[in-house]
Structure 1
Amino acid sequence: MKSENIMDERGFMNLPILKEQISQFLDKNGRIVRWPKKTYDKINVLKYLQGKFDPDKKYSEIEVNAVLKTWHTFNDHALLRRELFDKFLLERTPDCKEYWINTDKIII
């Protein structure tokens, strides 16, 4: 697999390729059914979730939660929101009223 096919035009992982890599954590509708144990898998799941957000939009916490609830089945949207923020995939204002996708930082 060539590396140029892995990233899309915005610099995000190509969702179909990423979805293949995390398929053991997804149901038939593409929802996350369990939180991975391995860090590598966690990062890929978080990148997959990041791709579910519009990078040009600002979200309220309620809107972020709604997106996360749509894309997982294990009922812990707070864990996912916190992990997205902790891994610099999601940024927020100090008062947590606005969230947005961070396109500047890359996880290594």
Structure 2
Amino acid sequence: MSRVALSLQIPDLSGFARSLREQLGKRPEPPGHVEMLNLLCRSAGFRNYQHCKGVMEARQRLDAPVQAEPTVDYELLEKAVRLFDAQGRLLRWPTRAGLQDLCLWVMWSRVPSRTGLTEKQISELIKRWHAFGDHALLRRALIGWRLVHRTVDGSEYRRIEQKPPAELSPLLARLSGRA
């Protein structure tokens, strides 16, 4: 049996002692280790040791702090910064998917939120944000990465609001500081 440290809080010590004494009094011989754990947990108001352990672990999970801030991959961030010029335009399309993803998040951040755009409008915006002459690649990638939604007939493009990766904020700060 694995050792798990459980903290047992007993709100009514007198009731706990009474229950434990009654359970021990019914036994002809002293209980073994597991039997003693079950007796203690029943006296504390649980069905048995497994029930107590499950409740305590669930409480620990609920009391645990919500996930800490996501960590920033600074190596990826530095590589991404080198893909942009002083005006913040993308110089070339990276081959690594992680860098492509981060570059697309930069494009996503520049698309106006809660605004519908025509294909011509979004293409004009994208043309201003890159320097390698393939706005269609970037437009398709934004749709493929599910950062921008396009209607079936292609008449409207709209940014999909979602939580960006941890690297986006520092990357945007670095790009704006270079201008």
> Into which bin does the TM-score normalised by the smaller protein fall?
0.7 to 0.9
Note the 1:66-77 alignment, pairs <5 A: 66-77=124-135
Larger Rg, first or second structure (1 or 2): 2
The alpha carbon displacement at 1:3 in A equals: 3.3
TM-score when normalising by structure 1: 0.78
Q: Is the 8 A contact 2:108 2:159 kept in 1?
A: yes
The 3-state SS of whatever aligns with 2:158 is: strand
Partner of 1:100: 158
Greater helix content: 2
Q: CA RMSD in A?
A: 2.6
Q: What residue is the counterpart of 1:30 in the other structure?
A: 88
State the distance in 1 between where 2:164 and 2:81 align: 22
Shift of 1:99: 0.3
State the Cα deviation string for residues 2-26 of structure 1 (Å, max 9, x = none): 837x7xxxxxxxxxxx976621100
CA distance in 1, matches of 2:78, 2:151: 33
Q: What is the alpha-carbon distance in structure 1 between the residues aligned to residue 81 and residue 164 of structure 2?
A: 22
Size of the aligned set, in residue pairs, is 95
Q: How big is each residue's C-alpha offset from its partner over 1:52-105, in whole Å with a ceiling of 9 and x where there is no partner?
A: 111111000000001100000000000000000001000011000000001158
3-state SS of 1:73 partner: coil
Match in the other structure for 2:101: 43
Cα distance in 2 between the residues matched to 1:19 and 1:61: 30
Partner of 2:69: 3
Cα distance in structure 1, aligned partners of 2:151 and 2:82: 34
Q: Which runs of 5+ in 1 are unaligned?
A: 7-17
Q: Distance in 1 between matches of 2:126 and 2:153?
A: 20
Show structure 2 runs of 5+ residues with no match: 1-67, 166-179
Distance 1:20 1:55, change over 3 A: farther
Higher relative contact order (CA 8 A, sep 6+): 1
Equivalent in the alignment of 2:139:
81
Extract structure 1 runs of 4+ deviating beyond 4 A. Answer: 18-21, 104-107
How high is the TM-score relative to the length of structure 2? 0.48
Q: Is the Cα–Cα contact under 8 Å of residues 105 and 164 in structure 2 kept in the other structure?
A: no
Paired-residue identity, %: 31
